[in-house]
Amino acid sequence: QKEVEQNSGPLSVPEGAIASLNCTYSDRGSQSFFWYRQYSGKSPELIMFIYSNGDKEDGRFTAQLNKASQYVSLLIRDSQPSDSATYLCAVTPGGYNKLIFGAGTRLAVHP
Amino acid sequence: EAGVVQSPRYKIIEKKQPVAFWCNPISGHNTLYWYLQNLGQGPELLIRYENEEAVDDSQLPKDRFSAERLKGVDSTLKIQPAELGDSAVYLCASSPRDSPNTGELFFGEGSRLTVL
């Protein structure tokens, strides 16, 4: 079992719709959770982080965390073609100061 | 403020040849990371430095890979000899002292290696 699992996609949504990206993790002691965006041929950039159960909103982005289910998600409201990218979920496993990345979900927003 | 700088951006070599990548982190960032990213995969940690000390190199294939961070600033990652399976993007990232657990890593543009 991979430490961080994501559906590779592609997830295709129409412009203006809500895109929902999901991630599960195996280490129940994981403490911090991150979403990075990576455009094709570019390096990853941090867009959201969440530490506590529940929702965290930042503009059009909402991160959701459910530690009991070992599940973290990212919602993108009013999706734009410029949101088309690979979204990487990353986790800090319990007791370790490092990031473990999932393989990423490719999102395609079509006009 | 300048970002993380890596060079070369692209490198093509034949198998069994050596190759080296260089990284200059953001000024003041004491933590430096080298990640490997294969096509369609997420970054995988190779080594993490706190200043000049390698604090996590458990995933570094030490038979052919080596890294150093002299004076706690710039870092080099070397592969000798390179194998076909080493073809990937090598990402360098840095983070400041006061955010080791926020997970905000600042990545360079990466060095894309092709081994023929």
Kindly indicate the confidence band of residue A1, based on its pLDDT and cuts at 50, 70 and 90: low
Q: How far is CA B40 from the centre of its chain?
A: 18
- Are A104 and B42 a contacting pair at CB < 8 A? yes
CA-closest candidate to residue A93, choices A36, A46, A32, A52: A32
Write the pLDDT tens digit of every residue in A86-105.
999 999 887 666 889 999 99
Chain A interface, best mutation among B4, B26, B41, by max A CB count within 10 A: B41
- Are A46 and B42 a contacting pair at CB < 8 A? no
Rounded to 5 degrees, what are φ and ψ at B3?
Answer: -85, -165
Listed range (A36-40, B64-68, B70-74, B102-106) with the worst mean pLDDT: B102-106
Whether the pLDDT of residue A79 is over 80: the answer is yes
Whole-number pLDDT of residue B99: 57
Write the pLDDT tens digit of every residue in B34-64.
999 999 999 999 999 988 999 889 899 999 9
Write out the DSSP string of B10-79. Answer: EEEE-TT--EEEEEE--TT--EEEEEEE-TTS--EEEEEEETTEEEE-TTS-TTTEEEE-GGGS-EEEEE
Chain A interface, best mutation among B6, B105, B106, by max A CB count within 10 A: B105
- Are B41 and A103 a contacting pair at CB < 8 A? yes
Residue among B40, B102, B108 whose CB faces A49 most closely: B102
The helix (H) or strand (E) run that includes residue A12 is strand A11-14
